[in-house]
Amino acid sequence: MNLDLSIKNIADGLVGKLFSAKELTKEFLDAAKKKDKDIHAFLNFTEDIALNQAEKIDEKIAQGEKLGALAGVPCSVKDAILVEGAPCTAGSKILERYVAPYDATVVKKIKEAGAIIIGKTNMDEFGMGGSTENSAFGPTKNPHDLTRVSGGSGGGSTASVAAEECVIGLGEDTGGSIRLPSSFCGVVGLKPTYGAVSRYGVIALASSLDQVGPVAKTVEDAEILFNVIRGKDELDSTSVEYEIQDTKYKIQDLRIGIPKEYFSKGLDPDVEKVIRDAIKKLENAGAKIQEIELPHTKYALAAYYIINTSEASANLARYDGIRYGLSLQGGSSLLDTYLDARGEGLGQEVKRRIILGTYALSAGYYEAYYNKAQKVRTLLKQDFEKAFEKVDVIVGPVSPFLPFTIGERITDPLQMYLVDIYTVPVNLAGLPALSVPAGKVGNLPVGLHMIAPAFEEQRLFETGKLFEKL
């Protein structure tokens, strides 16, 4: 069987009795286990859960019942998102033995829609990283070149889709963790508007930035998955209910903004050429291209890493050797218990960010760092608001460079943080953004970054689908 299937292909195949959900699930599981010996996209395969879900789909088909939007579709889930009965490590040794006692809201929704969860995917520990090299369980390799990184923090979810180990994936994006690996692996990835999707049952990194989103091979599949998971959830007070505008965009009417700040020093010339060519395609098809300014972009990375580390230091305080995860009881005092569990269970990057965040929130420094970063965040948001008065969509590169070799940047944290330079402004402003494959340099994919106003995901999907046809 061909594993290069879309959600629609699977729906047609099931209804047309070309295959059963169980046959399809077994096919994908077998292929994923074989391929993953080289790629390491998955941390755990949830075979029992998957086959049980597949049997339910086949029963529904036999009884002539209506099928959900994701019926029979093999799906991967990032290992920061809880799936009942499956391990959930967030890529950390401190949660190595933790088994989720309930489903995250997004998991509950995809199960109700008929998706088949085949496994939990690898990630940088607690989402801290841009290459999946910070995973306590080893890096995920790029399916296009096994010597290179898959991106991060959700490199496992995007690599699993790119390698056809599954059809769709659930990722989570705090500063680029869906879009960056989607660009590196040559798949489609959406970071939704903050509040568009419930975060209940998702292991938190930075609560004001985290957002769950879809990974897929096509924009249409990403759209279908997003429409399943979006919406208000009583268990997440930050989630919002809103109407999707059923708008069909004509490319001739589309006003596309190109920020001059995104094409400055540091952008790889090969990446720039692919992005410029993509913009030219849009222009030749009739879109109106205009240069815009986002003047506070240069402060985004610094502000992001203060807010990210501050919120992470607060969120990770719960992993103390008593309430969650690894517990080492050999110490003579309560402090020893804390220090032993965190010292052994947490990786170097996690410790670095906890220290930075605790410092930024400490007495005497809160105003100088955290408070100032929040003011910069407001200025960034205003930059985007002004830009969207003139344009419909903002377009640029996802990453300033191509997927780098494993080990190339891991020893230099500042070099690693630069990976996020184009993606973090979107999280700080709470906007939706899409990474769409734009082309390749050799065999290495390059993603085109599309940004829209808040709750205008439909505008991104329409633009993305138009671009795929060019």
pLDDT at 247: 66
Q: How confident is the model at residue 345 (pLDDT cuts 50, 70, 90)?
A: confident
Residues whose CB is less than 8 angstroms from the CB of residue 107 and which lie 6 or more positions away in sequence, other chains included: 77, 81, 82, 83, 84, 117, 170, 201
Asked whether the beta carbons of 189 and 68 are under 8 A apart, the reply is no
On the CB side of 184, CA atoms within 13 Å amount to: 39
Q: pTM for the full model?
A: 0.96
Residue closest to 126 by CA, chosen among 302, 369, 313: 313
pLDDT at 447: 98
Instruction: Extract the runs of DSSP E, i.e. beta strands, from 245-337.
Output: 255-259, 288-292
pLDDT tens digits for 161-170? 999 999 999 9
First and final C-alpha spacing in the chain:
29
Please check the confidence at residue 246 and state whether its pLDDT lies above 70. no
Dig out the tokens for 50 from the structure. Answer: 């998957």
Q: How confident is the model at residue 321 (pLDDT cuts 50, 70, 90)?
A: confident
Please check the confidence at residue 250 and state whether its pLDDT lies above 80. no
Query: Could you please report the per-residue DSSP string of 167-191?
Result: SEEEEEESSSTTHHHHHHHT-EEEE
Instruction: Extract the runs of DSSP E, i.e. beta strands, from 41-152.
Output: 42-45, 74-78, 116-121, 141-142, 145-149
Q: How confident is the model at residue 331 (pLDDT cuts 50, 70, 90)?
A: low
Please check the confidence at residue 338 and state whether its pLDDT lies above 80. no
Q: Is 59 exposed, middle or buried (0-12, 13-18, 19+ CB in 10 A)?
A: exposed
CB atoms within 10 A of CB 53: 24
pLDDT at 464: 97
On the CB side of 438, CA atoms within 13 Å amount to: 31
Alpha carbon separation from 386 to 298, 304, 397, 431 (Å, rounded) = 17, 21, 21, 14
% of the chain at pLDDT higher than 90: 88
pLDDT at 413: 86
pLDDT at 336: 76
The whole-angstrom separation of Cα 350 and Cα 137 is: 14
pLDDT at 320: 83
pLDDT at 1: 66
The whole-angstrom separation of Cα 205 and Cα 192 is: 17
Asked whether the beta carbons of 74 and 167 are under 8 A apart, the reply is yes
Q: What does the pLDDT average to over 353-370?
A: 94
pLDDT at 151: 98
Please check the confidence at residue 228 and state whether its pLDDT lies above 70. yes
Please check the confidence at residue 235 and state whether its pLDDT lies above 80. yes
pLDDT at 460: 96
The whole-angstrom separation of Cα 357 and Cα 78 is: 25
pLDDT tens digits for 281-315? 999 999 999 999 999 999 999 999 999 999 999 99
For the annotated catalytic residues, the residue numbers are 78, 153, 177
Q: What does the pLDDT average to over 251-276?
A: 94
Could you give phi then psi for residue 236, rounded to 5 degrees? -135, 105
Dig out the tokens for 467 from the structure. Answer: 């671009």
The whole-angstrom separation of Cα 394 and Cα 416 is: 25
pLDDT tens digits for 440-458? 999 999 999 999 999 999 9
pLDDT at 330: 66
Amino acid at 467: F
pLDDT tens digits for 176-190? 999 999 999 999 999
Q: Is 237 exposed, middle or buried (0-12, 13-18, 19+ CB in 10 A)?
A: exposed
Hey, which residues does 171 pair with through a beta bridge?
A: 213
H-only helix segments in 285-404: 300-315, 334-345, 348-361, 372-387
Q: Across the chain, what does the average pLDDT equal?
A: 95
The whole-angstrom separation of Cα 219 and Cα 213 is: 13
Alpha carbon separation from 101 to 82, 227, 448 (Å, rounded) = 8, 26, 38
